[in-house]
Homo-oligomer: A and B are copies of this chain.
Amino acid sequence: MKVYGRNVLKEILENDVSVKMVYFSNSKSRDLEKLIESVKQRNMPYTIANDKILERISNEKKHQGVVIDIGKFEYKDELIIEEITNPFIVILDQIQDPHNFGAIIRTSVATGVDAIVIPKNNSVKVTPAVVKVSVGTIFKTNIVQVTNLSRFIEKIKKLGVWVYGAAMEGKAYHKVDLKKPVALVLGNEGSGIRENVKNKCDDLISIPMKNKVESLNVSVSAGILLYEVFRKNEDINS
């Protein structure tokens, strides 16, 4: 996969992601020269080309002079959950929009989520656009792909994880315990969480509204709920 953007490369460098090739633009820029220097220091393979070539490789005009071939994106196996003590998990049930996925990854990293779980089918996947919207923070977390979400939820419940699903009919989120080990399920942009997945949740939570709107944007809902979990588990009052 060819990802792009300066902040994306910075995160790749910071998180020691293995790369096949870094392509830099031959347009002179202070910021680019610094990045080339960092790539050199780590003995990463790199090459310099003109902007048109970078555009062709990345299929993107706004590459900011940096395209990185990271090979195949490595999803983590669901077994990783068993290795985490007191996990904080986000489960996305058939989210479709790369912008939502990228923004949720960003908030997940900020709030200390240990793994983001997506189903193999009918779901947005990790694409260059997702990596870009996540501003490279995707390399700071674990993205897990599972075949069957319901079965995965059953499994983590047996590990002691309490699973909350976000749904209109749920309890107001601020009145709910939300203590770790915890998982938060968010549903599809149009139709929410599927019934069979919803039925597996321990509890449903909702975001109250003053004026009724159809729903909030799913990345906004995720932000509000993830921060509530964060506040109820971390000492951020000192």
Contacts and interface: CB of A to CB of B under 8 A. Distances in A.
Nearest to A236: B208
Contact of A216 (B7, B106, B174, B210): B106
B213 A106 contact: yes
What bracket does the count of chain A residues touching chain B fall in?
35 or more
A79 interface: no
Identify the interface centre among A7, A99, A107, A220: most chain B CB within 10 Å of its CB: A220
A14 B81 CA distance: 47
A88 B234 CA distance: 29
Given A99-B99, A103-B217, A236-B174, A110 B223 contact: no
B210 A110 contact: yes
B107 A217 contact: yes
Contacts of A112: 210-211
Contacts of A107: 216-217, 220
Contact of A234 (B99, B111, B210, B217): B210
Interface string A208-238: 1111111011011111100100110010110
Given A223-B220, A227-B207, A213 B137 contact: yes
A63 B184 CA distance: 33
B220 A106 contact: yes
6 contacts: A103-B219, A109-B213, A110-B216, A210-B234, A219-B220, A220-B220
Interface of A: 7, 99, 103, 106-107, 109-112, 133, 135, 137, 140, 172, 174-175, 207-214, 216-217, 219-224, 227, 230-231, 234, 236-237
Given A103-B216, A103-B219, A106-B217, 18 more contacts: A106-B216, A106-B220, A107-B217, A110-B211, A110-B213, A110-B216, A111-B209, A112-B210, A112-B211, A133-B217, A137-B213, A140-B213, A210-B230, A210-B234, A216-B223, A219-B219, A220-B220, A223-B224
